[in-house]
Amino acid sequence: MPYHARFQISFLNPFLSRFASLAFSMARVFAASMMFAVGALADKIGDMDQGAEFTKCIALDDFHSKTLDDDITLHDRDANGCCAEGHVPGAKLYTAYQGSQIACGVEDDGTAGGYSSSSSNGVTTCDYGKCYVFKQGLACSDDTMQLLNGCCGATKSSRTFTDDCMSYDYTHSTATAGESATTEYCLTYDQNYGTKGNEGTTEADDDIADGKFLVENFNSYAACEGGSVSGDGSKTSSGAVDVKAALPALAMAGLSFIRCFI
């Protein structure tokens, strides 16, 4: 190799090395940023499987005001099973009624149980029973949709259920890692429940299977009409791209693209 060519390569090597290092660092930052975005994106309860176990916590305000299709940020329970102050796991399942779209206090056989908590040396331990996604997706009289707590309308005692959808407007206390939360929730049933008959089955052991709550087997008074979900809780696909699911692939694609220039 001619001397001048060897000199040029020798002269450029430090710059090429530094460029490669810089480019790779930028690639790593890009990938990390994309992966961080995955964790930061909100969730929709409507995207979850009907009957899926739910082990997170929801901000109380979101539980009282958001629908199945609204973005919400979910939070982990602490090591003692508690939601953070101002957050709840859902609302208790109530025997014989449709209610919260996150149903908690469910026993291993699918029956409605309750919550328990204890405190020692200022540390609270919580047991919310099992919680499951119980989508109903009712349409309300004001052209809005049923909220996560099972209610139509966010104002207690001024709910906006349709005329043929009967309801009860309840509250219960939920222990958290801090101050207890007052959880509002609604129970519903069709006004013609007597002629329509009950939902589900009367069997005592068919509500839970393979870790899921089989809501179609839950025995309750006739459900209100106008729900937007099918029997399995699924919605008609709109063909929209699931951006959250795609972000990891986008991050790796960006990393591979930049490495082509290194």
Q: Distance between CA 260 and CA 262 in Å, rounded? A: 6
**Please, which pLDDT band fits residue 19 given cuts at 50, 70 and 90?**
very low
Q: Tell me the residue range of the domain where 200 lies.
A: 50-217
Q: Is residue 201 part of a domain?
A: yes
Q: Is residue 173 part of a domain?
A: yes
- Are 63 and 90 spatial neighbours (Cβ–Cβ below 8 Å)? yes
Q: Is residue 58 part of a domain?
A: yes
DSSP state of 211: T
Q: Is the pTM of this model over 0.85?
A: no
133: three-class secondary structure by DSSP: strand
Residue tagged 């063909």 (tokens)? 239
Most confident of 3-7, 20-24, 120-124, 229-233: 120-124
**Please, which pLDDT band fits residue 204 given cuts at 50, 70 and 90?**
confident
Reading the block at residue 178, the tokens are 């801090």
pLDDT tens digits for 89-136?
999 999 999 999 999 999 999 999 999 999 999 999 999 999 999 999
Q: Is residue 93 part of a domain?
A: yes
Q: Is residue 108 part of a domain?
A: yes
Q: Is residue 104 part of a domain?
A: yes
Q: Is residue 261 part of a domain?
A: no
In the prediction, which pLDDT does 10 show?
Answer: 52
Look at the chain and report how many structural domains it folds into: 1
In the prediction, which pLDDT does 256 show?
Answer: 52
Average pLDDT over residues 236-240: 35
Q: Is residue 114 part of a domain?
A: yes
Buried b (16+ CB within 10 A) or exposed e, 85-119: eebbbbbbbbeebbbbbbbbbbeeebbbbebebee
**Angle of helix 243-259 relative to helix 3-40, nearest 10 degrees?**
170
- Asked if the model's pLDDT at residue 41 lies above 80, the reply is no
- Asked if the model's pLDDT at residue 12 lies above 80, the reply is no
